[in-house]
Amino acid sequence: MVLLFGVIAFAGALSIYAIIVRSQLAPGSTRLLVSILFGGSLLEVLTLSFISPASTADVLLALVISWSLALAFTIANTAIEMDSPTQSLVIFLHDHRPNGVTEEMLDAFIIDRPFRDSRLRGLIADGLVERRGDWLVCRSGTQVLLYILNGYRRIILRNETTG
Amino acid sequence: MQAFALIVAACLALLTNMAAQVISHRHILRGRLAATLAAGFTVGFAALLIMCIATWLLTKPAEEFWYRFASAVLIYGAGSFAFLCLVAAAETSVRIELLRQLSAHPDGLTITELDALYNDRTLFHMRLDRLLEVGAIQKVDRYYRLTSMSLLFVARVFLAAKILIFGVTDEFGLKNQPSGLPFRDPGLRER
């Protein structure tokens, strides 16, 4: 029952987000996704626990299940709602089997998929980057995120990125 | 009591996973990121099993134990997947690389300056080189060909999720763009 509560709460919240984005009620963004997945899951778990009473510990377990699924989906969402450049390339190459693709075809592929500007708009929409006239500037919250990721890379002694 | 213990067990197993990954990358499998992630997951999962068995032995047996155990495994799996994605983001994410480039210039960058440092061609060729290096694709004569079926499987899983949840096959077909701008933002380009 606990397992079911947690999964249903996550699936319900995700469905609400998908409906909002698909019906164009609001543009998709990480901020909206986080609000709906975490807030919606909490409300759904509490509602389900009223419908079918469970112990406090089991309600907490259901909440942890839904929030852990919400966290995993939120982090993976940039490769679901948006396109991953690597995965797009893999599918592009597979679509052109068995001959493969030439440099010219890859050039056309790059022109058709301006990933960088797409991500830049996402960062602006999520409030991590702001425009000041002609300038693009990182906001203060960004430093915390970079501090965590770069700190982790320093700990594992990894110096080069391939982003 | 049992449910609390299993929540704690899943969280501790996740921490074990991260610690094992860090230690193995620093000291045992240096530079082999994928192998250290697999090692971390395995060690963490073993720790989870040990803690779940201990919980089962120390607490009053209950019918719900197996559902709670499955819940702990699900929490551990989701947490591990989130950790994997976070590590991948620190390594290859376009968003994170953009933030790195911009944060290196406290006064900011214009689009022209950003173009010189990091553009679509740069990010694409980094990926192409990486895939060639690991043998996921091959260049024969003047043709690039996909050789990694596991990468194709992952790409198809994400594509299926995209179609199922958002009803599109690629982001360029999305009707809703963040900030409501058209996909090609002339304001960004002309600067």
Alpha carbon A129 to chain centroid, angstroms: 17
- Separation of alpha carbons A10 and B102, rounded Å: 35
Average pLDDT over residues A73-98: 88
Could you report the per-residue pLDDT of B65-81, keeping only the tens digit for each?
Answer: 888 899 999 999 999 99
CB of B99 closer than 8 Å to CB of A78: no
Locate tokens 């990010």: which residue? B123
Average pLDDT over residues B100-108: 89
Helix (H) or strand (E) holding B120: helix B120-133
Question: What pLDDT was estimated at residue B173?
Answer: 58
Other beta carbons within 10 Å of B52: 21
Q: Which residues of A touch B165 (CB under 8 A)?
A: 14, 18, 80-81
B 29-48: CB under 8 A from A: 30-31, 33, 36
Q: How far is CA B188 from CA A85, A121, A126, A147, B142, in A?
A: 20, 9, 17, 27, 34
Decide if pLDDT at A9 tops 90: yes
Q: Where are the domains of chain A?
A: 2-81, 85-155
Q: Which residues of A touch B22 (CB under 8 A)?
A: 155-156
Locate tokens 């299993």: which residue? B6
A75, B7: Cβ pair inside 8 Å? Answer: no
Judged by average pLDDT, the poorest of A58-62, A80-84, B23-27, B113-117 is A80-84
Q: How far is CA A61 from CA A7, B72, B74, B128, in A?
A: 11, 8, 11, 43
Q: Which residues of B touch A23 (CB under 8 A)?
A: none
Q: Look up the ipTM and state it.
A: 0.83
- Confidence bin at B31 (pLDDT 50/70/90): confident
| Confidence (pTM) | 0.82
Q: Which residues of A touch B91 (CB under 8 A)?
A: 158, 161-163
Nearest-Cα distance to chain B for A50, in Å, is 19
Q: Is the peptide bond before B178 cis (omega within 30 degrees of 0)?
A: no
Beta strands in B60-142 (DSSP E): 137-140
B8 touches chain A (CB under 8 A): no
Average pLDDT over residues B49-56: 92
- The partner residue sitting opposite B179, judged by closest CB among A6, A27, A57, is A27
